[in-house]
Amino acid sequence: MLFDYQHIKKTGTRSQRRIRLNPVQICTAILILLFLLLILGTIIYDRLTGGIPLEDTFLNFMIRQNLSPLFFVFSTTLGQNVAVGIFSFFILSAVLFAFWHLSMLLRRHAPFVLRICLILADILVCAAGIASAFLIASSMLLNSYTNSVFGDPEWNKTALNLRESKREALAKDLDDSNRDPDQALHEIMTAVQTQKINIQALSDDDYIDLGERVCFLVDAKGRVSTPEEHYFRNYFDRAPATLADMVNTIRNTSNAPFHWRLLPIRSTLYHMIGTDGEYNLKFLSRDGHFEVVYNKKGQKLSTTLAPWNMGTFNYSSPVDDLSKHAKYDVDTYLRWKNTPDSPAIPFHLTKNAMKRFQANPDAQKHYRFYASLCKTVKK
């Protein structure tokens, strides 16, 4: 009996030898599993739904709850690319591990009330960590999606450097004028609205320069403050009058200076509300500021023809800065719509639009036909 007791004492019972996972290991395992499932689940969901990103549904929810700035903090920092996202994820795991370890040390000799407080803090930190992992993963996937949709190899470093030079010149002009951005923006708005600046009489280059100046001032302000500022974008409409004209511009001319291109159907989903909306085609300028949408009949949608589906001028280009595009363009669209008289925006807008498109072979044929004419590669 003595031998048996010593043997058991030395080796331990089976239950004693069983590996026990501490809260740190459990939390880390959950975090890793969640991260992998988010990526895998999003990819599968995208494939099954024909290209509606799961992040788009999440993003719409964030915007409607006025939480989009939080999402885009991650999108433009920790989730800006895969390498940074993965590094951020492991740093997050390390921080959680350190916090749990410190908490366990403090709990060993802490009074009962303090132990309860530490346990609650552990739960809150763990929840915050999981939420952060979700935001990082979603941001990585959304950035990848946006680059695949809006990226244009012709929008190269030379063009970006030229734009940066223009922005520096605009900043200098604003400083020299001793006006704040809000005042300067409203002066332009008044001049356009009173025809002091005849926007339609401007040359294409001057028209684009005016648009860049407006975009610079909005960015300098840091927000679109009023519905009037939001609706002012509707003055910028210089796309070809019909779909046939657009195709002719792309195929038979130099397509300068706008360099229009037909976007994939998944980036047109916000412009497919109502009957035959699944036939709508959206074109974007190379710099990402100018949009236009044509309906099934080839008509250009505008403030007087199905304004709820029309293309609008982007104060911030999704090509350059996705976070600012959401703040200045998407968020304001969901808040104020394209025009004051437009109907309410459906909550499941993108999901319903893709379902109608997928259920309509004629709409798919319509898109493929014009994609072929415009030599659109992305699907």
Q: Is the pLDDT of residue 137 over 80?
A: no
Question: Which DSSP symbol is given to 360?
Answer: -
SS3 content of the chain, % helix, strand, coil (to 5): 65, 5, 30
Is the pLDDT confidence value at 173 over 60?
Answer: yes
| 158 has a pLDDT exceeding 70 | no
Delimit the domains of the chain by residue range: 2-150, 157-373
The per-residue pLDDT for 88 is: 82
Q: What are the pLDDT digits (tens) for 211-241? A: 999 999 999 999 999 999 999 999 999 999 9
**Element containing residue 31 per DSSP (H, E):** helix 23-48
Per-residue pLDDT, 156: 61
pLDDT reported for residue 54: 55
219, amino acid identity: D
Amino acid 213: pLDDT:
95
> What is the dihedral sign for C-alpha 252, 258, 264, 269?
negative
**Binning pLDDT at 50, 70 and 90, where does residue 59 land?**
low
What type of residue sits at position 155?
Answer: W
Q: What secondary structure does DSSP assign to 249-295, as a single string?
A: HHHHS--TTT--EEPPGGGSGGG--STTGGG-EEEE-TTS--EEEE-
Indicate yes or no: pTM above 0.85. no
Mean pLDDT, to the nearest integer, of 5-15? 49
Quote the pLDDT of residue 27.
64
Q: Per residue in 323-370, pLDDT tens? A: 788 789 988 998 899 999 998 887 777 778 888 998 999 999 999 999
- Phi–psi pair at 108, nearest 5 degrees: -60, -40
For all residues of the chain together, what is the average pLDDT? Answer: 81
pLDDT above 90 for 49 = no
pLDDT digits (tens, 9 = 90+) for 262-272: 998 878 888 99
